[in-house]
Amino acid sequence: MNTTLPPFDNHFVYKLLIKEGVSSVIASWLNTLILFVLLLIAGFIFYKILYKLLSTTLGKLATRTSGQFDDYLIQYNVLKYFTQLPLLIIIIWLIPWILSDFSGYISFFLVSADIYMILLAIWLIRSFLFAGRDYLKTREAFKDKPVESFVQVGMIVLYFIGALLIFSRITGRSILAFLTAMGAASAVLLLIFKDTLLGFVASIQVSANDMVRIGDWITLDKYGADGDVIEINLTTVKIQNFDKTITTIPTYYLISDSFRNWRGMQQEGGRRIKRAINIKLSSIRYLTSEDIKRMKQIQLLERYIEKMELQIHQYNNASSIDKSLLINGRNLTNVGVFRKYIEVYLEQHPSIHKELTMMVRQLPPSEKGMPIELYAFTNDVEWINYEHIMADIFDHLLAAVNYFDLEIFEFPSSAANTFITDIVM
């Protein structure tokens, strides 16, 4: 900085006081005090005028621009900090001139002014970071990105550099000396900032691998989290569960533990139905000719039954099968025809995704009957609509079971009562 002092007389008050008979010591103190007061008044007026001019100019520019970045700059007081910089530079320049009679205090005031300059620079850069963060959150490309994490990293770096500069200015030692001193305490620092460092690494990995975005539906059973990600920052991830509670977990848990992200389901446009109907085993049987004739009247099965009837007839005739007993040769069963009915019904259903896996399968029989499982995807991933679609499908199928002479397995009332009693006891 140019150390040339102003070409003005800084002892005019001193001279007036000496003429009035005031002692030189008191005159020096009063001269210096009055100069400080005049400097503060002039500086305040200069600050207000500059702030008013810049705020008016930028305010007009902000109204003419479509972007919101300049609005956020104003919101985070960038002008307030920026207009203090030239004033502070002038004060630093004038300190030796004002304190010419008290040179022993010059160093103290210059160091204080330099520290405030560093803090002012930190606040100014912080305002730009916050304004940039809020602006990026309004951009579609960054809405689901962990912008908060990177801003927090930037703040940590900023504060660290600011602390180094302040330490160097106060002690008069180089920054390298401070870093050397910190090296001895690195283990303690690592322990103190363990969560921050782990969160920083996790944030980078989450962002680089696109593991989680803001707005994703994720499930972490271990922590009871099941809902939408509403915030990702350097140390924590906030998840709003479907019951509107908030679960907060450390960011690095997304790396160290497993979780389920439902984004793929939402992007694919299909939500899975995987539910079974348990058929009572004793109701499963072969179809007689009268049964086949009756079931042909079900429009969704007419072509299938005709095709299968022809194949079975050709096979049985070619193999000279004795059909006096139904068990001989090939036959249609009521559960097999019902399974085919479900397949055809799903294929023509308007709410079932036709490009994703769709099947009806028979699971191993158990003491609860034989499960006929539907495995398909709806073409609407919204939760409410999905539940409505699934309920409509099973309402229809449960009612259709009787047309195939099948029965749904259910516990007898006595067994159910015994089961409930056992639980209560």
One-letter-per-residue 3-state SS of 86-138: HHHHHHHHHHHHHCCCCHHHHHHHHHHHHHHHHHHHHHHHHHHHHHHHHHHHH
pTM (2 decimals)? 0.57
Question: pLDDT tens digits for 314-349?
Answer: 998 888 888 778 888 899 999 999 999 999 999 999
Q: Is the predicted pLDDT of residue 144 greater than 70, yes or no? A: no
pLDDT category at 4 given cuts 50, 70, 90 is low
Q: Are residues 79 and 119 in the same domain?
A: yes
301 and 201 in a common domain? no
pLDDT digits (tens, 9 = 90+) for 254-293: 888 888 898 888 888 899 999 999 999 999 999 999 999 9
Q: How many domains does the chain have?
A: 4
- Do residue 236 and residue 385 come from a single domain? no
Residue 175 contacts residue 168 (beta carbons within 8 Å): yes
User: What is the average per-residue pLDDT within 90-99?
Assistant: 79
What radius of gyration, in Å, describes the C-alpha atoms of the chain?
A: 40
Q: Identify whether residues 360 and 256 lie together within a single domain.
A: no
Q: Please check whether residues 108 and 185 belong to one and the same domain.
A: no
Residue 307 sits in the same domain as residue 399: no
Is 157 in the same domain as 43?
no
Q: Are residues 3 and 135 in the same domain?
A: yes
pLDDT tens figures, 167-212: 888 887 777 777 776 666 666 666 767 777 777 777 777 777 778 8
Condensed to tens digits (0 to 9), the pLDDT of residues 341-385 reads 999 999 999 999 999 999 999 999 999 999 999 999 999 989 899
Check: CB of residue 406 under 8 Å from CB of residue 280: yes
Q: How far is CA 161 from the centre of its chain?
A: 29
Please report which confidence band the pLDDT of residue 416 belongs to, taking 50, 70 and 90 as the band edges: very low
The reply to whether 340 and 386 lie within a common domain is yes
Task: Annotate 74-104 with b (16+ C-beta within 10 A) or e (fewer).
Answer: bebebbbbbbbeebbeebbbbbbbbbbbeee
Domain boundary (103, 119, 143) is at 143
Residues of the chain by 3-state class (helix, strand, coil), percent to 5 = 60, 10, 25
As a whole number, the mean pLDDT across the chain is 83
Note whether 318 and 368 are same-domain residues.
no
How buried is residue 187: exposed, middle or buried, by Cβ count under 10 Å (0-12/13-18/19+)? exposed
Q: Which domain holds residue 91?
A: 1-143
